[in-house]
Amino acid sequence: MARVSAYGLVNLRAGLRGNLGRSAWDFSLWADDVIDKHCVVGGVSGVSGPTFGAYWLVPGTPRFSGAAIRPEF
């Protein structure tokens, strides 16, 4: 069995909302794992056959970011 140390992640979100006549809009920027912390979120162990006793760690999602524009009619 593997032990995973505690860790923290930094996620950021910022956005604006407004109106254009009778329609509303929403614009946002976001970034997850801003400091690009390499972490493990779980693991899988082999329980039978040739993989018995083996253990594979599952890595966390790396840093990623994006933008969204949402019109509301």
What's the confidence (pLDDT) of residue 46? 75
Question: Could you give the number of structural domains in the chain?
Answer: 1
Residues 16-40 have pLDDT tens digits of: 999 988 899 999 999 999 998 888 8
| DSSP-derived 3-state class of residue 51 | helix
Contact between 39 and 60 (Cβ < 8 Å): yes
Report yes or no on 53 lying in a domain. yes
Which domain covers residue 46, as residue numbers?
12-72
d(CA 46, CA 49): 8
Q: Which helix (H) or strand (E) holds 40?
A: strand 40-45
pTM: 0.62
- The pLDDT value recorded for residue 2 is 62
The pLDDT value recorded for residue 65 is 96
Any domain includes 63? yes
pLDDT of 5 > 80? The answer is no
Helices (H), the chain: none
Q: For residue 69, which amino acid is it?
A: I
